[in-house]
Amino acid sequence: MNRFFTALPLSFALALGPSAALYAQSDTTTQDATEEADTGTTPPLEDQLSLGEDADKDPDLGKPYTKETIGGWDLRCIKTTEEVDPCQMYQLVGDSEGNPVAEVSLFRLPDGGKAEAGATVVVPLETSLQSQMTLSVDGAKARRYPFAFCNPVGCYVRLGLTAPDIASFKRGNQAVMTIVPALAPDQKVELVLSLEGFTASYDKVSVLDQ
C-alpha cells in the first residue's frame, strides 16, 4: 500500500462544525518550515532544541492532551478553566504494515437530532474521492460516506452516527473503513478500526455544542 499512500502527519483538525477550533491541533513543525522558507533563514541550532518540561505538569490552557487510553482509543481533551475538560475519542489507524494512514475522532451530539454522535475521518490526499469511503462493523452491510473536503493535510469524511450505529459499535469488535487509491482505482484499501474499549470511552466523551 505504500505505493499509493504516504504516511499522514499526526496533528489534524479533528472536530466537526463551528467548534472545530476547540479541537484543532497545530502542526508547529510544518508552520516553522513554512516560515523558514518564506524568510530564507534557518533559526540557530539552540533555538531548534527542546529543553524538556516536567512530565507531570498540567497542560497549558487551550492545549490538547491525552487524558487516558482505553482499549484502542485515546481520550483527547482540551485544557480549560472548567471543572471538566471537553474530550473526544481518537484513534490513529494504520495499514497492514503498521504505517499511519487515517485518523478518526468521535464526539457526542446534543439529544433530539437524527445523529447521536459525529465523527471525522482523515485519509491521505491520494484517495479517490469519487469512490467515497465505506464502513462496515464486523462484516455487516457497509454504509457509504462522501468526502466533505480536502486540504494539504488530507481528505475529510464527516459521519453522522445514529443510535443504531453507536449500538453496533458498542457490540462490535472492529470496523473496516474501505477507501480506493486514486492511482489504482481497481484496488481497495481496508483500514481496521478497533472497537476495543469503545463503550467505556464513549461514556466519557463530551457533548459537542452546536
Per-residue confidence in pLDDT tens, the chain, 210 aa: 444 444 333 333 333 333 333 333 333 333 444 444 455 566 777 777 777 666 666 667 778 899 999 999 999 999 988 878 899 999 999 988 888 999 999 999 999 999 999 999 999 999 999 999 999 999 999 999 999 999 999 999 999 999 999 999 999 999 999 999 999 999 999 999 999 999 999 999 988 765
11 domain-assigned:
no
Tell me, what amino acid is at 179?
I
**Domain assignment present for 78:** yes
pTM of this prediction?
0.72
- Phi first, then psi, for residue 33 (nearest 5°) are -65, -40
Write the burial class of residue 136 (CB in 10 Å: 0-12 exposed, 13-18 middle, 19+ buried).
middle
Q: How many domains does the chain have?
A: 1
Inter-residue contact 120 to 107 (CB < 8 Å): no
Residue 4 lies in a domain: no
How does DSSP classify residue 46?
A: G
pLDDT at residue 55, as a whole number: 62
Supply the pLDDT for residue 7.
38
Asked whether residue 160 is assigned to any structural domain, the reply reads yes
d(CA 90, CA 120): 10
- Order of all β-strands in the sheet with 73-78: 64-70, 73-78, 87-94, 100-108, 117-123, 154-161, 147-151
Q: What is the domain-level CATH number for residue 48?
A: 2.60.40.1880
Q: For residue 158, what are the β-bridge partners?
A: 120
Q: Kindly state whether residue 15 falls inside one of the protein's structural domains.
A: no
pLDDT for 4: 46
143-180 burial code (b ≥16 CB/10 A, e <16) = eebebeeeeebbbbbebebeeebbebbeebeebbbbbb
Q: What pLDDT score was predicted for residue 45?
A: 75
**How far is residue 209's CA from residue 32's CA, in Å, rounded to a whole number?**
32
**Residue 47 is part of which domain span?**
20-52+59-202
